[in-house]
Structure 1
Amino acid sequence: MSILAPVKVLVVDDSESNRRLLTELLESAPDLRVVSTAADGNEGLRQVMALHPDVVTLDLEMPRLGGYSFLRLLKSTAPTPVIVISSYAHQADVFKALELGAIDFIAKPSRPTPEAVEKLRRELQDKVRAARQLRPDRAPPPPRRPRGLPLEPSFVVGVGASTGGPPAVQRLMEALSAEPSVSMLVCQHMPRQFTRAFAERLDRLGPFTVREAQEGDVLQPGHVFIAPGGRQLVVYRQGGQYTLGTPPPTMQDKHAPSVDRLFMSLAEVFGARSVGVVLTGMGSDGAQGARSIHKAGGEVWAESERTAVVYGMPQEAVATGAVSRVLPLGEIGPALVELARKRR
Structure 2
Amino acid sequence: MRKVLSEMLNQHPRLQVVGTARNGEDALKKRATLCPDVITLDVEMPIMDGLETLKYIMDEDPCPVLMVSSTTKVGAENTLLAIEYGAVDFVAKPSGAISLDIKKVEHLIIEKVLQAAKANIRKPTLPTKEVKLHGVERTEVRMQSHKKKVIAIGTSTGGPRALKDVITNLPAQLAAPVLIVQHMPPGFTLSLAKRLNSLSEVNVKEAKDGEILQNGTAYIAPGGYHLTVKKIGSVFAVHTHQDEARRGHRPSVDVMFESLSSFPEVETIAVIMTGMGADGTEGLIKLKRSVPNCYAIAEAEESCTVFGMPRAAVQTKLVDESVHVQLISERILKRF
TM range (shorter): 0.7 to 0.9
1:190-229 pair list within 5 angstroms? 190-229=184-223
Shift of 1:132: 3.2
Q: Aligned-pair RMSD on alpha carbons?
A: 2.2
Residue from 277, 281, 306 that aligns with 2:271: 277
Q: Structure 2: how far apart are the matches of 1:254 and 1:45?
A: 35
Distance change (3 Å), C-alpha of 1:272 and 1:218: closer
1:129-208 pair list within 5 angstroms? 129-138=114-123, 155-177=149-171, 180-208=174-202
Preserved CA contact (<8 Å) 2:193 2:204: yes
Partner of residue 10, structure 1: none
Q: Note if 1:330 corresponds to 2:315.
A: no
Shift of 1:60: 1.7
Distance change (3 Å), C-alpha of 1:133 and 1:59: same
Q: Structure 2: how far apart are the matches of 1:138 and 1:127?
A: 20
Residue from 60, 71, 89 that aligns with 1:77: 60
Q: Note if 1:91 corresponds to 2:76.
A: yes
Residue from 21, 32, 35 that aligns with 2:18: 35
1:46-105: CA deviation from partner (whole Å, max 9, x where unpaired): 222222212111012222222121111111211011111011111111111112111211
Could you tell me the TM-score, scaled by structure 2's length? 0.87
Shift of 1:140: 7.5
Preserved CA contact (<8 Å) 1:179 1:337: no
Partner of residue 136, structure 2: none
Aligned AA (1:182): A
1:250-269 pair list within 5 angstroms? 250=244, 254-269=248-263
Give the unaligned 5+ runs of structure 2: 127-145
Aligned AA (1:303): E
Residue from 109, 124, 128 that aligns with 2:94: 109
1:105-129: CA deviation from partner (whole Å, max 9, x where unpaired): 1110117999x64441011011111
Q: Structure 2: how far apart are the matches of 1:204 and 1:278?
A: 24
Distance change (3 Å), C-alpha of 1:252 and 1:203: closer
Q: What is the count of residue pairs matched by the alignment?
A: 312
Aligned AA (1:293): L
Q: Structure 2: how far apart are the matches of 1:133 and 1:47?
A: 22
Shift of 1:263: 0.9
Give the unaligned 5+ runs of structure 1: 1-17, 142-151
Partner of residue 50, structure 1: 33
Preserved CA contact (<8 Å) 2:147 2:266: no
Per the alignment, in what secondary structure is the counterpart of residue 263 of structure 2? helix
Q: Structure 2: how far apart are the matches of 1:265 and 1:45?
A: 47
Q: Structure 1: how far apart are the matches of 2:269 and 2:174?
A: 16
Q: Note if 1:124 corresponds to 2:118.
A: no
Q: Structure 1: how far apart are the matches of 2:161 and 2:25?
A: 26
Q: Note if 1:24 corresponds to 2:24.
A: no
Q: Structure 2: how far apart are the matches of 1:329 and 1:106?
A: 24
Distance change (3 Å), C-alpha of 1:319 and 1:201: same
Partner of residue 48, structure 2: 65
Aligned AA (2:305): V
Aligned AA (2:107): R
Preserved CA contact (<8 Å) 1:280 1:311: yes
Q: Structure 2: how far apart are the matches of 1:118 and 1:231?
A: 24
Shift of 1:223: 0.4
1:197-238: CA deviation from partner (whole Å, max 9, x where unpaired): 111111212321111111101100010100011110000122
Residue from 292, 303, 306 that aligns with 2:302: 306
1:282-312: CA deviation from partner (whole Å, max 9, x where unpaired): 1111111111122123222110101001001
Q: Identity percentage over the alignment?
A: 35
1:255-289: CA deviation from partner (whole Å, max 9, x where unpaired): 10000001111222245722210110011111111
Q: Structure 2: how far apart are the matches of 1:291 and 1:119?
A: 34
1:143-197: CA deviation from partner (whole Å, max 9, x where unpaired): xxxxxxxxx9973111111110001101101222375333211000000111111
Preserved CA contact (<8 Å) 1:98 1:104: yes
Could you tell me the TM-score, scaled by structure 1's length? 0.85
Aligned AA (2:263): V
Q: Structure 1: how far apart are the matches of 2:284 and 2:15?
A: 33
Q: As a proportion of its length, which structure holds more helix?
A: 1
Preserved CA contact (<8 Å) 1:211 1:226: yes
Q: Structure 1: how far apart are the matches of 2:277 and 2:203?
A: 30
Distance change (3 Å), C-alpha of 1:72 and 1:118: closer
Q: Structure 1: how far apart are the matches of 2:318 and 2:188?
A: 31
Q: Structure 2: how far apart are the matches of 1:209 and 1:48?
A: 42
Higher relative contact order (CA 8 A, sep 6+): 2
Q: Structure 2: how far apart are the matches of 1:175 and 1:159?
A: 14
Q: Structure 2: how far apart are the matches of 1:163 and 1:38?
A: 26
